[in-house]
Structure 1
Amino acid sequence: MINSLYKNRTAIYFGTGMEDAGLTELARLGARHVLLHYGQGSVTRSGLLDRVMAGLTARQIAVTELGGVQPNPTLPRVREGVALCRARGIDTLLAVGGGSVIDSAKAIAAGAAFDGDVLDLIEGRVRPAAALPLGVILTVPGAGSESSPAAVISDPARSLKLDFAAECLVPALAVLNPENTRGVGLFQSRCGILDAITHVCERYFTQTDYVEVSDRLCEGLIQSLIHYGRAVDGRLDDYGVRAEIMWACKLAHDDVAGVGRKQDWSSHVIANALGGHVDQPHGALTVIVMLGWMKRAAETSPARFVQFGQRIFGLASPTAAEAIAAFEHYIAGIGMPVRLSGLGVDLAPATLDAVVDVCARKNPSGTIGNFVRLGPNDVRTILETAR
């Protein structure tokens, strides 16, 4: 194990009807004027937004609304939120939605506490030092943003997806009521599950020694997510299934399974770079890229893939290629695409070149990843394999 700091300050209110307790905590933390941030209609149709508004009003908390967050949240909407916070003296953010809404709220919270352009924070020219307090009512599990320090924001004008992270971005509280996820359809549910699996895999594939404890945590999470990726079909209204998925997705990205190990994250770097050019669900896109990454990484370092096949899929003595094939077979078996073409992505030469360039500029070394260091030619190979 390597030296690590594990800290997660998000208070989780889990279960039916826990919105009331979460809003009470938000008031106790000093919320007086909330920016209520949400997506494109599902929270309105379900009646959740009305219930949240009533709860805030009952606690004498003023509300300014900012809805319309798109999947893959955008910089213009973030700037709109920052301007609202500054103009109206907003002191707290409340995100009601999934990872896109939460990420957008994180960027707004940081930008509102910063005397400058929020893009400087998002692009890393200035590290966020403070942010307005943020509460979350989660409606779409998968991203794990409800208790993480990270966010991803799209800049459509430049075809970029920009990731940034800071401790001050971690939400103060999150309400995880599985009832609020029953409107999530089968495809989107499986996108969230695959997103969570990739979060665990980015931690699982490591060269760090003596990480057996967290190996087993990772393996248990992946196996549970695999199970519910199948079980959710025909059980979209099953509270127990929804609860298990919601909790597993949260654990997949709060870093409890990543303590003491050097993590990789190259699949996410590549997927985010590609996501700046194609508007596709993040979980589905990332797992396709990860399959391409696995095939390249296994050429250099096959042993952990053998363990992956043995412990996750119960293969007796697999090769690395057989272990990866088992994972790919699972993804296809739940009706999810395993190639970019199956997701409707036509990887044009200019897009491929642009993605390779973004990855090459991610770090001063010109490489990405830790499990296997990847240069521009490797990124190109991974994308060609994923095509």
Structure 2
Amino acid sequence: MEEIQSWLGNTYNSSLSKSPSSSSSATTSTSHETHSTPTLCEYTSFNSLESTNNIYSHNNNNNNYPISKPSISYFCITSLKTLTPQISCVAVDNNNLYAATIKEIYVYDLTSYELIDTFGSGSGSGLVKSIAFSDRKIFTAHQDCKIRVWKQVISTSSCKQRHQLISTLPTLKDRLFNCMLQKNYVQVRRHKQKLWIEHADVVSGLAVNNDVGLMYSVSWDKCFKIWKISSDMHCLESVKAHDDAINAVVINTFDNTIYTGSADGKIKVWKKSGDSKKHLAIATLAEHESSVNALALTNDGSVLCSGGGDKIIHVWEKRDNCENHMFVCCSLKGHRGAILSLTHVNGVVISGSSDKTLRIWKYGKDFGGCLAVLEGHCKPVKSIVAISDGDLDDNLVVFSGSLDGEIRVWKVVISNYRD
């Protein structure tokens, strides 16, 4: 755990350590593995924290009602090994898999899993913490407090896909516009000021709402910022959001609600005020006993999942009579280390942890618990992303990136049956 704490910094505590840089390159290897399905877990009382079962429900106090048990099969399709350690972020866009390491971002073709490009090695920006997409732009959040913007281009000499840096946020134009007035500076620490449009610490997360042309960035400086991402990219607003570093951000694109998770153990819910046009906190969700490291929303925005350093995943739902308030409908327990990454796809939650495993969870009225434990990584699973495989909603492809420099690609098939 000491090694993980040193690298992750504010994910575990308030110490903002820097990651070392090293040269990087990539090779690809392939492996195929099959695993047996673990025993499924039943509902137990939420208050029975001594229990070893994997789910605790606020809404059920007995274990004797029929359970609909999903069945699951899964195996590792391939393993992509980079020579540079520490996969910090994986993301998928336009049939490409993006994987960020200490110095470079690797791009793989999802059809062949061949490496088709590497970029970012010359920026000197340190670790990439998050990757987001908008139209033909790729946004990357960096340890040097900046956000970089890239675009895909086709090399005329090789006819291969390349990624070119087109801007850095805040842009030079944005900085020049704001630097002339003293009111545009904020105190970031003793004897040091920065423009309000600049992050003062590691940019830890990005989320894009393409419907309104906005991007949201969060940082270990305890703030989140809103950016216009059209042709004239600039910062619209900066919000002092938490009492400690912010580790995660997600957006409900249906009602433009923003959720931020912090090392202060809280999740805050934000929405733009109609009168002031500023983002205000409309709710604070506090159930985690440690830092909130990861957030995930369902597609319709009705359910929020949060994972923390306390090894628990809380599942939040809105109350019928209170649009702005959410309550914990159940809590998923089973990981033996901090939750570092989450995704919600096709009715299942997938989590990555410092215990080097992924877990696939199902929750609902009929069944709740851990469907599978995916093992194979040698170090903590820092990032995961999942997509539907073909026309069947129950077929998934899951990509997991670990601090061991390995990306694993998993095929997962889920089906349901009743006793």
Q: TM class by shorter-chain length?
A: under 0.3
Q: Which has the higher strand share?
A: 2
Name the structure where helix makes up a greater proportion of residues: 1
TM-score normalised by length of structure 2: 0.25
Bigger radius of gyration: 2
